[in-house]
Amino acid sequence: MADVTVICGSASDGPVAEKVFETLKEHGVDYDYKVISAHRDPERLDEYVKASTARVFIAIAGLSAALPGVIASKTKRPVIGVPVSGTLMGLDALLSIVQMPRGVPVACVGVDNGVNAALLAIRILEAGRA
């Protein structure tokens, strides 16, 4: 069972996810990886989040970047959003992730910053063990 689940909204987010994988591997953290769109496959996302035993979710998404917020609405576990650069250099995704409504908390790292997302997940895991 993985401690961290990394979910991308699209396979094109893979380069950012690779940074997450490398950092988690360096620190010996087990992870799962899925590509599930919050818009195109909401039922599959709902089923996956509910069935997951991960302690932290990292959601990587661009454009409207709804994925982190949708995941956070379905779990009480921590969710870290990673905005992906695109036509607006990631500003659209960044603003979507940081503007969550009350009761749907999502941590957000910088645009394309998969390394910081992994490091934050590791700190969350370590805090739970302290």
Binding residues for substrate, as ranges, are 10, 13, 40
Beta strands in 15-99 (DSSP E): 31-35, 56-61, 79-83
Q: How far is residue 114's CA from residue 104's CA, in Å, rounded to a whole number?
A: 21
Q: Is 104 helix (H, G, I), strand (E, B) or coil?
A: coil
Residues annotated as binding site?
10, 13, 40
How distant is the alpha carbon of residue 108 from its chain centre? 9
